[in-house]
Amino acid sequence: MHGLPHLEPSMTATPLPEAARPANAHAAGNSPRPSPFKVACSSCNLRELCLPVGLPDAELERLDNMVALRRTVSRGGLLFRAGDAFQSIYAVRTGFFKTCVSSEDGRDQVTGFQMAGELLGLDGISNDRHSCNAVALEDSQVCVIPYERLEELSREFNDLQRQFNKIMSREIVRDHGVMLLLGSMRAEERLAAFLLNLTQRLQARGFSPSSLVLRMTREEIGSYLGLKLETVSRTFSRFQEEGLLEVRQRQIRILDQEGLRKLMNGAKC
5: partner contacted, choices DNA, its own copies, none (Cβ within 5-8 A by kind): none
Whether the Cβ atoms of residue 63 and residue 41 lie closer than 8 Å to each other: yes
- To the nearest 10 degrees (0 to 180), the angle between helices 158-184 and 147-156 is 120
Q: Which of 4, 53, 187, 255 binds DNA (CB under 7 A)?
A: 187
Q: Is the dihedral of CA 1, 74, 192, 242 positive or negative?
A: positive
CB 219 within 8 A of CB 254: no
Q: Which is nearer to its own copies, 94 or 99 (CB)?
A: 99
Do 101 and 82 form a contact (C-beta atoms < 8 A)?
yes
Which of 34, 36, 127, 258 is the binder for its own copies (CB under 8 A)?
A: 127
- Binding part of the chain for its own copies, among 24-32, 183-191, 194-202, 211-219 by CB under 8 A, reads 183-191
* Size of site (CB under 7 A) for DNA: 22
Q: Which is nearer to its own copies, 155 or 250 (CB)?
A: 155
Nearest residue to 249 (alpha-carbon basis) of 261, 240, 259: 240
Give the shortest CB-227-to-DNA separation in angstroms: 4
Residues 92 and 119: their CA atoms lie apart, in Å, by 6
Tell me if 148 contacts DNA by CB under 7 A: no
Residue span 215-234 as binding mask against DNA, x where in contact by CB under 7 A, dash where not: --xxx------xxxxxxxxx
Q: Counting beta carbons within 10 angstroms of the beta carbon of residue 84, is it exposed (0 to 12), middle (13 to 18) or buried (19 or more)? A: middle
Q: Which chain residues interact with its own copies by CB under 8 A?
A: 101-109, 111, 122-127, 131-132, 151, 154-156, 158, 161-162, 165-166, 168-173, 175-180, 182-185, 223-226, 265-268
Q: Which chain residues interact with DNA by CB under 7 A?
A: 186-188, 214, 217-219, 226-234, 236-237, 247-250
